[in-house]
Structure 1
Amino acid sequence: MPWNALLASDLQARAGWGQAIAQQIRSRAEWGAVPALDAACLHGWGAAAPATAAPWGMPWGWVPVCDMGLRGSWGNRLRPLDVRLRLIYNPKPAAKDAFVRGRARRSNEHGPRFDAAAAVEASLYVPGSSALSFSFSGQRYTPPSSPLVFFDFRYEPERPPIQPTDTGGQALRWESARRLNQRAWLPWGKARVLDGRLTELPYVDYPGPVKPLPEPPPDPTILDTYMIANTVNLVALPSRTPIEAKNIKIGLDADSFSWSFSADIFTRAALELVQPDAGGAGELELDINGWKWVVLVERYSRKLQFPTEAYTITGATRGQLLAAPYAPLRSALNSAPINAAQAAEGELQFTGFTLDWQATDWTFPAGSLSYQSQTAIQVIARLAETVGAVVLPSRDSDHIDIVPRYPAPPWEWGQVDAPIERIIPPAMMTDLGGEWTPQPAWNACYTSGTSVGCSMLVRRAGTAGDNPTPDVFDDWLTDQPANQARGTHELSKGGNIEIVSVTIPLFPFSDDHGVGLILPAHLYRVPEEAGPWVGLCLGVDISAEGTGAVRVRQQIKLERHH
């Protein structure tokens, strides 16, 4: 508050100035010395006694600056403190596996060779001519029990150092390997069980069976003129009554499971011997130059032409009994794993037929082999078709063979181990024709099962696999061998193909110098002057025209790959 004049207030309560009256004089205190108190608690000043100076004394010094740049470096900036808390390992921990370590020593590369025989001779004692020599007379030296002096003749040969062996002329220099046969390289993959190349040499380290090389087909005898006395006999079974016939034809192609037959007969009596009756279809036995067929007569027709009449009969071999309408329709589903050959043989149970499975075999898992309303031959034919095989029926017995349509891929037909069946010389050909039917040059094929099985890309070795065939999907491709066989079959159908038609005579069955009967799904070599080539038989048709001195011909179709 600022200084100014005080306002007059309560003037009436003011007291005038006057002399004060002295009161309470007795309570005044005089100035004097202060009395000393608590003299017993007096602490005197003096020199302080040193306490815990040795262990806890910390000298003043310059503290170094740390963590200036967050850099870590080794130094002796920090001084050891609390030396008494230092830990000393006692005893020292024992070394583990110290006794198993091996010491490395250098071998004696350049020293003289150690001779063990010379070392033994050096260890033998040989008495000399000196004053101190011993002669043991061929006996072992044995010192007395308490001699004054005895001798120790023990010899411990020095342990020779290790020396290298065969160091001279056996050195091998390291260098990059040479590349040979780069076209023949094989990629590593999962191994597959294969028959391999055919050979007559047994494998030393292979105890299994060895496939011998196929015997080369015999060379037919080449003559200027072939004189064949053809014999054609047709008899009714079981009476074996001869039947006069003409224009007899019988043939088979690779896609059929029975031989087809047709003939012309002349009389009604002959027709009654072969026409169907309550016992079933009539049976005939056909013999052409010793080659026999047993056929079933399924159809016949009559042709009237004054003054004669003629009857035509058609039929097939006994393989037709496995198809409709002779064989019943069946449905099945495998409850356990089974292979294809077993499944095919199971279809022929109680039928009297036998089967020889020569194609690729594979396994069906449980529940993967199923079909509905199929005859026995339909199931067998589908099994064969799955791996690119065909059904080859017998001519005169209840037997069928399952063989690959291509015994070998076309690119292997020119090799030594190609399974050639016969040689057809051009000198025996009466007719020759050809039809050019080229196909794409496929080099890869993708095969796969559907619900069960596996898939595989089959590629021709040595190619890029850049021209694949249409993909193949089949319910019964359930195993790796089946996929590989089917893919190889599809690749074999491609390339520059020519269908060659050849007509040759049918040589007698007992003639070893002729060609004989040509069968489908077999390879035949044709040694032409321009160069030999191999063809696959697709079908054969045999005709016996006329009566009496008939002319017998067989016309075959060969698939040739250029």
Structure 2
Amino acid sequence: MLNLRFISPYKVNKSPLIMRFGDDTGPVDPTLPFLQANIGIEVGSNWFNEQLLSNTDLLQWQTDSVKNEFITAFKQPEIINEQSTIDWHQAALVAANNAIKWGNAGYVINVIQMPYIITMAIEYNEKDFNWLTQLDAEQTELKAHWHSSEALTTSRDQHWHVKPLLESNELVIHYGETDKQYICYWRNHPFKGYVNLEFSEPAQMHNGRLVLRFNNPDKVCYWGLPGGLVRGDDDVPTIDRKIPIEPQIRNTYIMQPTIDCVRVSDDLKILISSVSYSISRGQFSATCNIKFCSRIDFDRALGQELKISINGYDFYVICEQPSTSNSFANASYSASCRSRFALLSAPYARATNYANPTAKTLAGIMSDILINTGWSLDNQMIDYAIPTGAFSYTNLTPAAALLSVAKSVGAMLDIDNANKTVSIVPLWPVMPWDTESAICDVILNDSIILEHNTSQTINQEHNAVFVRGEQQGVACKIKRAGTLGDKFASDVVDSLITDNQAARQRGTCELANSGNKQQATMRTKIKADLPPIRPGMLVGVTYSNSTYKATCDSLTINASINAQGAITVSQTIKVISNV
């Protein structure tokens, strides 16, 4: 029992308070406490322990090209929490919990593409097949080996086989004249494949991906005609897309010619007594001469756009230059006309200057010339690149500029006045030395040839020519195949010769113009099965004892009505061939 006795009053700021223990005999020092042998000590250590998340393996197979890609992405989650309890009485590790999560954030791609082989540039639209691959997982084996807190080995075996399912709704069939060649196609695997993935260490955080590429399936090839997946009969002839226009040979031809002329603006009928329409390869518009039946028709047509129909074929002209002739009791009214494309020339269109401010192609420059004119371009020449500032012209109308560009690459203008389309075609669609093996556009026989006249011109023959550009051009030697290339023509220099294709096209045209030529002038009819023969067409002629092929150089159509009302319609063509 501890007794506290206060023997004197409390005084402020008096210290310390002395406590003495003992009996009445005097103070005694307190006894020290007795220490036990072992004192318990607890230590709590909180460690981050990663949280076990769900494992997700996503495999998606899809085919899109002839290769197989296997992409596997690994992702390791952040460590969230780990608790560890340590007893100081024991030196050994009692418990350790570890959780490692493997995640597949990517996907597997199996892409197969089966393009069709196209040997003719009929269309440039190839069929795209969409394939859906159904995976039939026959066996899935997962092996996970754990030792202490470190994942030593994790392996996964995946066995599969591919079942393609066609899901295509669109099919484009290419047809035309083709040659035999080796046809190869891919077949499905005749055996089942497998993928063995082994993971020997924990994944690390990274943004890359694992790409697995597989060998191509078996390829089967055979010699035959190209086609689709199903092999056709090799002895079946291909479809010939180019069919010549050949009028039937008859003993008697019954003709019912017609001539009609209307004003395009309001379809007002214009009476005419005769018309002559001419076009050649070197012109950008046709020329026409019309004779009217009266002064009223003459006044109605002057300065207007007319549509002339001859035996059902339409021709669009602009009535430009009037002409009158008066004599005793007789007056005639006529006018000179040009085709509709003349609206892009003087005096209807102003001359302008042009220089390509950026790099363009040949078709791009010609499209710039026709911009905001209402006419569309159909380029049938080989297109090529033209550097910045390589081409320019000064004081030219759109029609003259387009003709100049066409002549620079050995081409001509084929005008469709009805649809307002300008086609850029080669001046010689078939080379004069290759006509024997070419298919004709029109075949004429002596039963429909009313007149046939021939003449020859003597020119120096060339088999090689140097074609050069200017500051940004190329220089090429163009040689006719199968010759020595030792007879040179005059060098050709043009600013548009900026590519080998440009030089080849222009040089080929120059060589085709050389050599001795035979010119034949023929007059024939215009019928339902014999339309007007346009310049550039390859014409096969059978007359008397001669048979030859020649290129049409010019066309003239004559139609007239006599005093008795009889209508006469004919066309006269001039064709050129090598001799």
Give the TM-score taking structure 1 as reference length: 0.60
Cα deviation 1:287-337 (Å, max 9, x = unaligned): 100001121111101111232321111111110011112112222222221
Cα deviation 1:70-99 (Å, max 9, x = unaligned): xxxxxxxxxxxxxxxxxxxxxxxxxxxxxx
Tell me, in whole angstroms, the C-alpha distance in 2 between the residues paired with 1:549 and 1:241: 23
Does 2:570 match 1:540?
no
SS in 1 for 2:374: coil
Match of 2:178 among 192, 197, 200: 200
Q: How does 1:164-175 map to 2 (within 5 A)?
A: none
Alignment match, 1:294: 316
Alignment match, 2:516: 496
SS in 1 for 2:300: helix
Does 2:290 match 1:263?
yes
Larger radius of gyration: 1
Match of 1:367 among 382, 389, 397: 389
Alignment match, 2:566: 549
Does 2:266 match 1:251?
no
Distance 1:202 1:558, change over 3 A: same
Alignment match, 2:450: 430
Does 2:355 match 1:323?
no
How many matched pairs? 356
Tell me, in whole angstroms, the C-alpha distance in 1 between the residues paired with 2:248 and 2:550: 20
Does 2:498 match 1:446?
no
Cα deviation 1:361-402 (Å, max 9, x = unaligned): 222111102222221112211111011101111243322211
Contact 2:301 2:319 in 1 (8 A): yes
Contact 2:120 2:177 in 1 (8 A): no
- The runs of 4+ residues in structure 1 deviating greater than 6 Å are 193-196, 209-212
Q: For residue 272 of structure 2, what is the amino acid of its counterpart?
A: A
Shift of 1:236: 2.2
Distance 1:373 1:519, change over 3 A: same
Distance 1:399 1:225, change over 3 A: same
Q: For residue 378 of structure 2, what is the amino acid of its counterpart?
A: D
Contact 2:292 2:333 in 1 (8 A): yes
Match of 1:386 among 386, 399, 408: 408
Contact 2:356 2:365 in 1 (8 A): no
Alignment match, 1:410: 432
Tell me, in whole angstroms, the C-alpha distance in 1 between the residues paired with 2:542 and 2:389: 50
Aligned CA-pair RMSD: 2.5
Tell me, in whole angstroms, the C-alpha distance in 2 between the residues paired with 1:271 and 1:428: 35
SS in 2 for 1:336: coil
Tell me, in whole angstroms, the C-alpha distance in 2 between the residues paired with 1:338 and 1:287: 40
Contact 1:501 1:556 in 2 (8 A): yes
Shift of 1:534: 0.7
Tell me, in whole angstroms, the C-alpha distance in 2 between the residues paired with 1:506 and 1:383: 33
SS in 1 for 2:447: helix
Shift of 1:266: 3.1
- State the percentage of identical aligned residues: 26
Tell me, in whole angstroms, the C-alpha distance in 2 between the residues paired with 1:368 and 1:520: 31
SS in 2 for 1:384: helix
Alignment match, 2:477: 457
Alignment match, 1:83: none
Alignment match, 2:331: 309
SS in 1 for 2:368: helix
Contact 1:501 1:557 in 2 (8 A): yes
Shift of 1:212: 7.8
Q: How does 1:131-210 map to 2 (within 5 A)?
A: 199-201=177-179, 204=182
Tell me, in whole angstroms, the C-alpha distance in 1 between the residues paired with 2:537 and 2:256: 27
Tell me, in whole angstroms, the C-alpha distance in 2 between the residues paired with 1:395 and 1:503: 24
Tell me, in whole angstroms, the C-alpha distance in 2 between the residues paired with 1:235 and 1:224: 36
SS in 1 for 2:354: strand
Q: For residue 311 of structure 1, what is the amino acid of its counterpart?
A: Y
Q: For residue 304 of structure 2, what is the amino acid of its counterpart?
A: G
Shift of 1:213: 5.2
Please, which moves more after superposition, 295-304 or 392-401? 392-401
SS in 2 for 1:225: coil
Tell me, in whole angstroms, the C-alpha distance in 2 between the residues paired with 1:369 and 1:204: 44
Q: How does 1:324-363 map to 2 (within 5 A)?
A: 324-363=346-385
Q: How does 1:4-23 map to 2 (within 5 A)?
A: none
Q: For residue 502 of structure 1, what is the amino acid of its counterpart?
A: M
Alignment match, 1:236: 263
Contact 2:362 2:383 in 1 (8 A): yes
Alignment match, 1:519: 534
Q: Any stretches of 5+ residues in structure 1 without a counterpart? A: 1-192, 276-280
Alignment match, 1:561: 578
Q: For residue 556 of structure 1, what is the amino acid of its counterpart?
A: I
Alignment match, 1:483: 503
Alignment match, 1:9: none
Contact 1:248 1:543 in 2 (8 A): yes
Tell me, in whole angstroms, the C-alpha distance in 2 between the residues paired with 1:480 and 1:300: 48
Distance 1:391 1:306, change over 3 A: same
Tell me, in whole angstroms, the C-alpha distance in 2 between the residues paired with 1:460 and 1:201: 24
Specify which structure has the higher proportion of strand: 2
Contact 1:294 1:397 in 2 (8 A): no
Tell me, in whole angstroms, the C-alpha distance in 2 between the residues paired with 1:218 and 1:312: 35
SS in 2 for 1:413: helix
Contact 1:537 1:556 in 2 (8 A): yes
Shift of 1:556: 0.4
SS in 2 for 1:545: strand
Tell me, in whole angstroms, the C-alpha distance in 2 between the residues paired with 1:362 and 1:457: 18
Q: For residue 447 of structure 1, what is the amino acid of its counterpart?
A: V
Shift of 1:533: 1.1
